[in-house]
Amino acid sequence: MAAAKIKKGDSVVVLSGKDKGRTGTVRQVMPKTGKLIVEGMNIAARHRKPSQANPQGGIDRFEAPMHMSKVAVADPKDGKPTRVRFEEKDGKKVRVAVKSGETIDG
């Protein structure tokens, strides 16, 4: 399997959908389904009936997963979306922003 280009904790820019242009941090990555959850993005609402666990009921809002293709890693230099490539630095494989050449993970 190929190395992950987007990882938990990365700063990403949403490319399409209702949150287009907004920046957030990746909270969870689901590589098997190709989806991820970004903090504060893609908020979905579910109307819940009252139950014993939740006697009040009401509207439940949560961050829904979105497809990885809808986000791009934010360039460490200027925060704009960029693609990611892998390079070997000091004998270690690191992710590098294509736009600026900056190293993404230390």
pLDDT band, residue 106 (cuts 50/70/90): low
pLDDT at position 1 is: 53
Report the pLDDT value the prediction gives residue 105, as an integer from 0 to 100.
77
pLDDT at 2: 66
- What is the pLDDT of the chain when averaged over all its residues? 93
pLDDT tens for residues 44-96?
999 999 999 999 999 999 999 999 999 999 999 999 999 999 999 999 999 99
CA of residue 15 relative to chain centroid, distance = 11
Structural domain boundaries in the chain:
10-74
Token digits of residue 46: 């579910």
Q: Which pLDDT score is estimated for 42?
A: 95
50: DSSP letter = -
Find out if CATH 2.30.30.30 is the number for domain 10-74: yes
The H-or-E segment that residue 66 falls in is strand 66-67
- What 3-state DSSP class applies to 37? strand
3 state SS for 26-74? EEEEECCCCEEEECCCCEEEEEECCCCCCCCCEEEEEECCEEHHHEEEE
How many residues can be counted in the chain? 106
Report whether 24 contacts 34 (CB < 8 A). Answer: no
Q: Write down the pLDDT at residue 30.
A: 95
